Each structure stands twice: as C-alpha cells, then as structure tokens.
C-alpha cells in the first residue's frame, strides 16, 4: 500500500468581487507558493479542475496551464469538476506508483456570471433545464425535504450560517461576512441569504507526495488514509433528497469515523446537516473551522480547499485525524471524502 | 357551351343520421374518450379502424376489441400544398395512411407537420412516427382526431448566459497600449524572451513577468494559410491568416494579412500593421485591421524556422 | 502497486452527422451497452465510470455526466469527468486504466462522447470573449499554417495530403461504424473539392460527428472470465506543453515526442515502425499523418511523407495507420481519442472485422488536442505484459 500525503496547500485571499485579475493571474501565486513550500519546480503529475462555463468560453484549463511552467512538457490532466476530483485522479496516479509527487489546482470566479442560474444548464436537458430551476431553488427543495424528515428547524440553519460566518471572520483567506441578520427574508424558502454560499473568486493548489518523498517535503505530512467518492442519481425526483446516500457511502469507504475535524463542502446551511448525518459526525467533531464554503466558495476550488484546510490542521499539529469533503452536482449529487492523518509512524 | 351557370346546392337539411352498429360504435365511443381501438379478426389480425367483417375473407370479426396506439407509423402519404375548404386543415398538410401500433391495417387521416410550402417536408416519409392530436371537444366522430402529428424527436433549447468579464491585469495593460497605438509585451527575467501580447507570466518558466517592452508594428510572416471560409473579421474571401513574428518579439502572433493577393503571400514576407484610423481606436487588438507587405526583401526560411 | 490492465469490452455507436434518433443518454448507452455485451457484463458488475468529452458548449449542457450518472449505471459508484480538449478521449482511457493499475478497482467503464449536431462545432470551439488578443479563429485557420510550415521544412510534394485523405476513407468503407463512407474515393475526387484553408481541401478535413465510444477495462483477475480475448495495456502516457512560448515547435511539438518516448519505454519498444503492427493516430487533417509519423518516431525528421507516399501506412503496408478510417472518417471530438484507443485494442484482440490487420499483436492509440499541445497515448498488445 503506497502512503500518500498532502504536503503543501495554498489558497488565494478570496474576493467577493472581481479583483481585476485573469484566472491565470489569480492562479499563479498559489502555484508559486506550493512550489516554494516544497522546493519543487517540477512534479511527477499535474491535474486541475475548472469549468469552461464560468468563463463563458471553452478551454479554461488551457490558459491556466501557463501558470504551471509546463516546460519541458509535463504529464498532465484535467477534470471538468471541482479540483477535489483532480486530487483524486492525482492520488490514483501516485498509488499507481510511477511518480512520487503531484501538483493539483483548481480555480474559478463566480463574479463573472450568475452561477446559480448558470447551473440550470447542468441539469437534465429534457425534463429539468427547460423549467429553469436555479441552484438555490433546487437546494431549497432539498432543505425542505431534510427539515421535514429530520425535524430540524430553520433556526438550525441559521445556527450553521452564524457559526460558519464567525469562523470565517477568523480565517484570513475567507470573506468576512456579518452575522446573519435577524430580519433576513427568504431567498428561496426555507433558505435565507445567509444560508447560501457567497459569490467568490479564488484558487487553490495542493501538492501530494508519496512515501519517503512526502517526509522529505513536509515536516508533518497529512497522510491520506482513505479517499472515496460516489454519485447519486441525478434527478431530485428519483432519490431521497432528505439525505445523501452517496456521501454516506463515500464516508464509509474512506473511513470517516473517528475524525476530530471535518471540513465539509456545504454550499447551503442544510447541506452541513445532511452531511453530518451521512458521515456520522457527532457533536464532538469540529466542523468547518475555516468557515467553510458559507464563508468562501470559489467554484471548482472550494472542495479542494476543504481537503487543504483539513490537511493544514494536521500540518500545524492542531489535529491528528481530519476529514475533507467535496461535493459536486445539484443537491449534493456527488460527494468525495478524504480522511487525513498525521504521525503515521 | 352555355354562357352562364347557375348555382345549385345539394344539402340534406340537418345532416344525415347514421347509425353505426356495434363495431364502429365502439370505435367512435372509445375515440370520444381519447382512445383508439381495433377489432380482432378470426385470423388474429387487428383492424383499425374496425369493421364488422374481415376485409380479406368477409368473415365476421370476433368481439374482441384491442386498444392500439397511441402512436402509429406512416405507411404512405400525399402532400396537399393547397387545402380545400373541406379538408380537415386549412394550411398545407399531408394525407397519411397510418398503421397504429398494435394494428394490422392502416387508418387514413390528416397529418400536420407544422411546416408549409409547395414541397413535401423532408421528414415526411414512410416510417415517420405520428400520434393523434385529439380535439378538446369530442362528439364521437373520426374527426375527434383533429389530425395526426409527428412524435416529438427534437426541441429547440435556447440558452443565453450573461457574463461580466474583466480582461485581467496583463491583457488590460496590453489593450491600453493598443488604444495608444502601441504593441506591448513582457520580457521574462528567467528566459529573457519577449512575449507579445503579455500574459503577466512566462508559460515556459511559470514565473510572473513585469518588465514591459514595446515592440515594433513590423514583422515577418513565419507561416500562413489561405482561408476560403468567411470570417467576420476578414475583408473578403479568400483571406490569409498568418503567424507574424513582430520585430522585437520572441513569439509569433496569429493575424490577418491583406493588401496583397492571397496567392502571393510568402513565408518570410515582411509586413507592417495596417491600423484603423486613430479616431476608431478602442481598447482592442482590432485597432490593427491586418498586416500588409512592407516591400522589404523576404527573410530566408532558415532564419524563421525555429518560430514555426 | 502496478496491476495489469486489460480491455475486455469495446462498444461504439454508428457515427453520423446527426444522430436524431437518440437522446444524449441514448447515445452514450448505445456504446456502453455494446461494451458491456462484449465484456459479458452488466451494469452491476462495474465498479466505477469515467466519462470524457470536449467542451460542454457543444451540447450546451454543463458537465452533462451529472445528468448521465444514472443512465450510465453510476448510482452509488464513483464517476469522474475528464476534459483535456481533443486529446480527452485518450486521457479518459488512461484515467480509467490507472484506476485498474493502481488496484483501486476491478472493472471500470469508460465512455467518451460528443453530440456535435446539437449546436455548431465551429461556434463551440471558438466562442470569443470580448477581450481577445487574437485576430483569427477556427481550427483550420489555426492548423493549416503549421501544415504549410511542415511542407516547407520537409520539401514534401503537394499531393501527400490527398493520399492520406483517400487511404483513410478507403479504410472507412470497411468499418460499419464509420461516418464518411465515399464509395470509389479517389485522388481526383479529393482534388476536386474546394480548398478550405489552403493547403487543406474539403476532403482533407475531418467531418463533424455525433457518437460515443465505450470500453470496459479490467484487472487481470476480472479479465479471466471475459468471453472475448483481452487487449493488455502495455503502456500509457500523457504530456502537455503551453500553447504559446518562445521557440515552440508547432510542427513537431516536444510534448508529442516526449509522450511517445515515455509510452515506448514502458512497452519496451525502441523501433515503433518495426515493433508495432498498426497505429490508430489522431489525424483530423490529412497532413497530420506525415507530421505525426515523424513526431512519433516512425521515421526520421522530414521522412514522414515518404512512408505515406510509398504505401507503408496503408492497410496492406508494413505499418498500417488508421485502419478504421480514423478521425478523417468519423469525428465526434470528445470521443475521437477513445475511439483510437479502442480501435487499437480491437486490432490486437483480432476483432477488427474487415479492417483487421493480419496478426496484429501490438498497436498504438494516440490522441492530441488544444493547439497540438496535449497528448495522450497507449500501447496495447495481445500478450500479457
């Protein structure tokens, strides 16, 4: 069994508005940071996650490659998914054992278009997209289903948002958002504006390394003890929206039990409740100390950042066993769970 | 020949009263409820529309009625570009023999393709899958089916997504240069190469670049294609798209070449930017309309081959 | 850990300008079900699904694999989406192979597809943003100048492209799935078609197709119960380089050279022309055959056109290239790379029907994309490595 660890993580100071940088310009500093942190300028494998539609043109990943310094040519691939899945692809490559280091990055801006509306076009093109249900409306359907089944109340959603925002204010990379307003109206009931992840531009990069190479590159590598991802069926009408079967499966296979900290890619308050239940996270688990996606949600990077944040707590010695989670698709359709541990030997 | 004619109407007041019997009656009753049925013959075939007898043998049919359809297949058709007043539709349509799914005989009815014109629509052919369009108000008549129409095989999905884009720091500066009639690039401090337009980084070295360099608006064609497919930015067809190595730059840029017949463009040809009139300049690469020959001697291919 | 990986199932759709008879799910399932049938498996036997396609703008569905998850039997399973431009079909195959070779899964379904008729390929590939530093668009306009540079560098005669156009279309006549089938295809026919992007004529370019290709990849254990012969993966490689940089060789990109060197080393190949029995290489414009012959080391620099001219790459030649008819005959862009990989597998499985290369035991599958900057290759063989 090849031991693979997160040995470096960097993210941008995320912004709620366009900061006047191209995606490539936004990405370059985080790649430079992980290169500096590891002392590596070349990696055995490189993989990224991005979305053409966020930029309104094809081939977002082509110009992003300029930030890597891909000369001489590099072994490289790309997923049209959150970069957490790029990390998964890199993990598989390292597990295969031909190379021992990998660079993973993701980037995206939600300042350039209305992402909730954009994601209508991610839905079934025959039965769903023509009706135009935006991302928030569908999420609210899931929230309603969860509240009805679990007995959780809208106040529980507010509590998630309040805790996330408070934590985010302590995170220099997150947006610093006010406490939920007492009189906030619904955006789409039962969700209020604070239950919805904010518009964010940002990027992140991670370096993975295997075996002794990881120990050389990092004082306290965050070893990946389990990683798994699963999909649910697409249509909200053919699955139990009140829970996440795919997250449960991924958590079970990745070994979610017994983590001290969990960074969950919950883009809506109720998603945290669904994910806690699916992953079996008790009250004693510290959830989203970074503020989570409710404090900064750069598309295509936010899932990778959850893994990075979980790893960072192991790098710093703050946690021994941590979980990073990423989600993708409407209503938590796909879920990835990565369990990390320090001090393996 | 009589010089005049006189109108005459033959019309039974109130209309004929037709008894339909059990078989046709069942068919029309079901039709009024929005269903199509046929009757089974002794030989096992299903007749739609049903008759009291097997048209092959003359034997009586069984009393078994079978629901068919709702879809059917066109077996044969004709196209009516100029419908008559008595026709079921008042716009061009087809007559079709339609074999309902589950039936062994065909039903004649009108077929609306939603397309008009003197020529039959291309998709009108034997094998076309169709379904009845029922009238909202039905009375128990074969015209309770207003007409048939093709099954849905496609729909048009308009999508329109709006963006608010920013060019980014480096491209913004490049476009600012364009608005002043200057072509800007960056020199990479690692490889010392000049990249035009600049990207704020060196793709080879993966480092930021900041040293601004202005390059000439003259250069050399490193290679080109003669395009016969129209392009909105090209003045005419054929037009030449060429890689041009600007003097002072280390990467060739793709641009149009004009001011010379396409068949006279050469590798190594020297060119100069043809700028639009200054009053038309914006923050756009389009300030350069295209490149035109300078008339200088060509550069030998050997000198430019490393840029192709 | 490195486990052995085998192709035990291949499925393809008929490639056509417009597959109006199917939905997107219907299209991808057609290929997937054929691959499962070839492998003697059902959906439930599959551990994970890897989907590849080129830009989502083709169909206007963002990450359509999320909608396709249940159509591809992926409910409760891992599913990934790869996108590396034109090379994506190849990259997708490699991602799937690595899931087996790393020991993560036993049986992986890989599907790549494109339904280009839902919009317009030229539009989808060249949507221009308002801030552009480019003055020309279009794939032909982009690649044709590189072809001219090759002709200049190699002194190749003008008719070489025509020979490739004829040869690949003749092969396509033997392939039941091929899109362009032109009975009696000849040099005269190609030369009569208009110049689109001189030096490229109409019939020297690929069509725009709807279609999907699927494969079932399996571990050595899982391959044992396969009903049909496996194709063993002997090597895989991917390489990328930036699209623009000083001194870039756009005729023979270094990424392609390095990628080939890597995959040959893994397969123990030192002389590809002698040691490979055939190759399915991404040739969307006729002249890319001689260009890639050189880039992939089948001959010395400047000699590629001679192999084409003397018939070495014909179905009857010593190193047949694109016996299936290749990209010049069928091009659902996102699938085209995986089709190359799958056709290479069919050859070494002895299942290529009328275009079977006699006794093929080792074959190369190749894909490239972007500005000829992304490369993906694999070598498959009939012998277990």
Three-class HEC string of C86-153 = ECHHHHHHHHHHHHHHCCCCCEEEEEEEEEHHHCCHHHHHHCCCCCCCCCCCCHHHHHHHHHHHHHHH
Q: ∠C121-C125-C129 over CA atoms, to 5°?
A: 135
Name the superfamily (CATH) of residues A115-198+225-341.
Thiolase/Chalcone synthase (3.40.47.10)
Domain assignments of chain A as residue spans, ordered by start: 4-112+200-220, 115-198+225-341
B254 touches chain A (CB under 8 A): no
What residues in A contact C5, CB-CB < 8 Å? none
**CA–CA distance, C329 with C280 (Å, rounded to integer):** 12
Sign of CA dihedral C320, C325, C331, C335: negative
Q: Looking at chain B, list the stretches that DSSP marks H as alpha helix, in order from N- to C-terminal side.
A: 21-32, 169-179, 301-304
A71 with C245: Cβ contact below 8 A: yes
Looking at residue A91, its pLDDT comes to: 98
B157 with C60: Cβ contact below 8 A: yes
Looking at residue A345, its pLDDT comes to: 47
% pLDDT > 70, chain B: 99
**CA–CA distance, C225 with B152 (Å, rounded to integer):** 42
Residue of B nearest to C149 (CA): B223
Kindly compute the dihedral angle of the four CA atoms of residues B199, B204, B209, B211, in this order, to the nearest 10 degrees.
-100
For A68, the closest of B161, B200, B206 (CB atoms) is B206
User: What letter would DSSP give residue B53?
Assistant: B
The reported pTM is 0.91
Q: DSSP 3-state assignment of B265?
A: coil
B224 with C195: Cβ contact below 8 A: no
**CA–CA distance, A118 with C67 (Å, rounded to integer):** 15
Number of Cα atoms under 13 Å in the Cβ half of residue A46? 28
**CA–CA distance, C181 with B189 (Å, rounded to integer):** 54
Dig out the tokens for B85 from the structure: 């007043």
DSSP of C45-98, one letter per residue?
A: G--EEEEE-S-GGGTT-SSTHHHHTTTTT-BTS-EEEE-BTBTHHHHHHHHHHH
Predicted confidence (pLDDT) per residue in B56-72, tens digit = 887 889 999 999 999 99
Predicted confidence (pLDDT) per residue in A128-187, tens digit = 998 889 999 999 999 999 999 999 999 999 999 999 999 999 999 999 999 999 888 999
Looking at residue C141, its pLDDT comes to: 77
Looking at residue C136, its pLDDT comes to: 58
Optimal mutation site among A72, A80, A211, interface C, most CBs of chain C within 10 A: A80
% pLDDT > 90, chain B: 66
Subunits next to B (3 or more Cβ pairs <8 Å) are A, C
Strand partners, C50: C80, C110
C149 with B308: Cβ contact below 8 A: yes
DSSP of B237-252, one letter per residue?
A: SSEEEEEEEETT-SS-
For C242, the closest of B203, B242, B253 (CB atoms) is B203
What residues in B contact C245, CB-CB < 8 Å? 193, 195, 202-204, 251
**Separation in Å, CA of A3 to nearest CA in chain C:** 11
What residues in C contact A76, CB-CB < 8 Å? 84, 238-240, 374
Predicted confidence (pLDDT) per residue in B71-103, tens digit = 999 998 888 888 888 889 999 999 998 999 999
Burial of C350 (0-12, 13-18, 19+ CB in 10 A): middle
Strand partners, C25: none
Optimal mutation site among B157, B168, B170, interface A, most CBs of chain A within 10 A: B168
Cis peptide before B238 (omega within 30 of 0): yes
A24 with B199: Cβ contact below 8 A: yes
Which carries the bigger pLDDT value, residue A75 or residue C142?
A: A75
* Predicted interface score ipTM higher than 0.95: yes
**Residue the block writes with tokens 């079967």:** A245
Mean pLDDT, residues A316-334: 97
C148 with B197: Cβ contact below 8 A: no
**Separation in Å, CA of B162 to nearest CA in chain A:** 6
User: What letter would DSSP give residue B91?
Assistant: S
**CA–CA distance, B203 with B217 (Å, rounded to integer):** 23
CATH number of C5-121+208-223: 3.40.47.10
Regions of chain C where pLDDT drops below 50? none
Cis peptide before A318 (omega within 30 of 0): no
Looking at residue C135, its pLDDT comes to: 56
B199 with A28: Cβ contact below 8 A: no
H/E segment holding residue B4: none
What residues in B contact A24, CB-CB < 8 Å? 168, 199-201
**CA–CA distance, C123 with A56 (Å, rounded to integer):** 12
Residue B3's pLDDT band, with cuts at 50, 70 and 90, is: low
Q: What is the mean pLDDT of chain A?
A: 95
CB atoms closer than 10 angstroms to residue A41:
11
**Separation in Å, CA of A305 to nearest CA in chain C:** 19
Looking at residue B76, its pLDDT comes to: 86
pLDDT exceeds 70 at position B7: yes
For A4-112+200-220, the fitting CATH number among 3.40.50.300, 2.160.10.10, 3.40.47.10, 3.40.640.10 is 3.40.47.10
C212 touches chain A (CB under 8 A): no
**Contact partners, residue A104, CB within 8 Å, separation at least 6:** A46, A47, A48, A83, A86, A87, A90, A205, A206, A207, A208, A304
Domain assignments of chain B as residue spans, ordered by start: 21-150, 169-307
């Amino acid at each position: 069994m090849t031991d693979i660890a997160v040995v470096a993580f960097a993210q941008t100071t995320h912004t709620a508005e366009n900061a006047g940088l191209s995606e490539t310009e936004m990405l370059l500093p985080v790649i430079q940071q992980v290169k500096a942190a590891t002392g590596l300028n070349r990696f055995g494998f490189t993989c990224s996650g991005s979305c053409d539609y966020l930029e309104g043109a094809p081939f977002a990943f082509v110009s992003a490659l300029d930030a890597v310094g891909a000369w001489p040519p590099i072994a490289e691939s790309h997923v049209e998914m959150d970069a957490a899945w790029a990390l998964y692809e890199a993990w598989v490559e390292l597990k295969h054992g031909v190379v021992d280091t990998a660079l993973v990055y993701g980037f995206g801006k939600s300042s350039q278009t209305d992402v909730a509306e954009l994601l209508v076009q991610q839905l079934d093109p025959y039965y769903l997209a023509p009706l135009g249900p935006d991302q928030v409306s569908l999420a609210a359907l899931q929230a309603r289903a969860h509240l009805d089944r679990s007995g959780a109340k809208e106040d529980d959603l507010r509590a998630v948002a309040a805790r996330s925002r408070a934590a985010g204010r302590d995170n220099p990379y997150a947006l610093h958002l006010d406490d939920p307003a007492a009189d906030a109206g619904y955006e789409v009931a039962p969700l209020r504006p604070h239950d919805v992840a904010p518009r964010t531009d940002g990027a992140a990069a991670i370096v993975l390394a295997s075996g002794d190479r990881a120990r050389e590159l990092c004082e306290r590598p965050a070893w990946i003890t389990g990683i798994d991802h699963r999909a649910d069926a697409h249509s909200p009408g053919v699955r139990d929206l009140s829970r996440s079967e795919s997250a449960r499966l991924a958590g079970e296979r990745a070994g979610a039990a017994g983590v001290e900290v969990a960074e969950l890619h919950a883009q809506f308050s109720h998603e945290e409740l669904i994910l806690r239940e699916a992953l079996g996270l008790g009250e004693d688990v510290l959830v989203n100390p970074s503020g989570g996606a409710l404090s900064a949600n750069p598309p295509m990077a936010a899932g990778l950042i959850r893994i990075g944040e979980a790893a960072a707590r192991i790098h710093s010695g703050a946690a021994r066993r941590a979980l990073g989670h990423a989600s993708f698709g409407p209503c938590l359709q796909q879920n990835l769970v990565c369990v990390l541990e320090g001090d393996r030997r | 020949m009589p010089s005049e004619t006189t109108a005459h109407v033959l019309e039974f007041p109130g209309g004929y009263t037709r008894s339909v019997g059990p078989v046709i009656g069942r068919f029309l009753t079901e039709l009024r409820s929005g269903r199509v049925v046929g009757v089974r013959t002794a030989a096992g075939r299903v007749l739609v529309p049903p008759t009291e007898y097997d048209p092959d043998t003359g034997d009586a049919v069984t009393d078994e009625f079978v629901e068919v359809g709702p879809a059917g297949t066109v077996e044969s058709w004709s196209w009516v570009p100029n419908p008559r007043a008595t026709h079921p539709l008042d716009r061009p349509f087809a007559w079709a023999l339609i074999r309902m799914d589950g039936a062994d005989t065909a039903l004649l009815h009108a077929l609306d393709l939603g397309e008009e014109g003197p020529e039959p629509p291309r998709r009108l052919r034997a094998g076309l899958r169709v379904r009845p369009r029922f009238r909202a108000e039905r009375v128990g008549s074969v015209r309770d089916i207003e007409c048939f129409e093709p099954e849905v095989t496609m729909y048009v999905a308009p999508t329109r997504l709006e963006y608010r884009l920013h060019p980014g720091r480096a491209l913004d500066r490049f476009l600012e240069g364009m608005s002043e009639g200057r072509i800007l690039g960056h020199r990479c401090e690692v490889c010392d190469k000049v990249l035009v337009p600049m990207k704020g980084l060196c793709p080879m070295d993966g480092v930021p670049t900041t040293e601004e360099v202005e390059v000439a608006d003259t250069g050399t064609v490193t290679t080109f294609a003669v395009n016969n497919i129209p392009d909105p930015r090209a003045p005419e067809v054929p037009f030449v798209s060429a890689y041009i190595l600007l003097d002072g730059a280390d990467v060739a840029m793709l641009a149009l070449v004009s001011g010379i017949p396409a068949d006279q463009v050469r590798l190594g040809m020297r060119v100069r930017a043809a700028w639009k009139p200054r009053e038309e300049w914006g923050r756009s690469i389009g300030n350069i309309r295209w490149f035109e020959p300078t008339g200088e001697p060509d550069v030998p291919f050997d000198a430019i081959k490393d840029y192709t | 850990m490195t486990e052995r990986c085998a192709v035990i199932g291949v499925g393809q759709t008929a490639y056509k300008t417009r597959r109006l008879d199917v939905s997107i799910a219907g299209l991808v399932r057609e290929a997937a079900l054929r691959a499962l049938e070839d492998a003697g498996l059902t959906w439930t036997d599959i551990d994970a699904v890897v989907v590849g396609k080129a830009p989502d703008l083709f169909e206007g569905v963002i990450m359509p694999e999320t909608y396709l998850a249940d159509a591809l039997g992926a409910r409760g399973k891992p599913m990934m989406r790869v996108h590396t431009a034109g090379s994506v079909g190849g990259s997708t195959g490699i991602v799937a192979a690595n899931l087996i070779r790393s020991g993560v899964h036993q049986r992986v379904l890989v599907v790549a597809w494109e339904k280009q008729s839902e919009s317009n390929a030229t539009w989808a590939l060249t949507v221009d943003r308002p801030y552009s530093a480019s003055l020309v668009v279009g794939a032909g306009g982009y690649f044709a100048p590189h072809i001219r540079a090759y002709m200049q560098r190699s002194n190749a005669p003008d008719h070489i492209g025509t020979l490739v156009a004829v040869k690949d279309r003749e092969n396509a006549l033997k392939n039941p799935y091929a899109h362009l089938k032109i009975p009696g295809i000849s040099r005269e026919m190609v030369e009569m078609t208009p110049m689109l992007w001189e030096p490229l004529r109409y019939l020297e370019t690929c069509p725009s197709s709807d279609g999907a290709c699927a494969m079932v990849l399996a571990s050595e254990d899982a391959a044992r119960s396969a009903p049909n012969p496996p194709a063993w993966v002997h090597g895989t490689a991917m390489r990328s380089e930036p699209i623009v940089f000083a001194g870039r060789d756009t005729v023979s990109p270094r990424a392609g050279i390095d990628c080939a060197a890597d995959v040959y080393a893994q397969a123990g190949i030192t002389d590809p022309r002698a040691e490979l029995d055939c190759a399915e290489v991404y040739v969307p414009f006729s002249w890319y055959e001689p260009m890639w012959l050189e880039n992939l080391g089948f001959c010395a620099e400047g000699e590629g056109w001679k192999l084409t001219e003397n018939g070495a790459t014909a179905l009857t030649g010593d190193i047949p290239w694109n016996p299936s008819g290749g990209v010049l005959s069928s091009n659902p862009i996102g699938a085209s790379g995986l089709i190359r990989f799958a056709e290479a597998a069919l050859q070494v499985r002895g299942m290529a029907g009328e275009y079977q290369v006699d006794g093929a035991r080792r074959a190369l599958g190749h894909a490239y994309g972007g500005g000829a900057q992304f490369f993906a290759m694999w070598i498959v063989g009939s012998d277990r490595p």
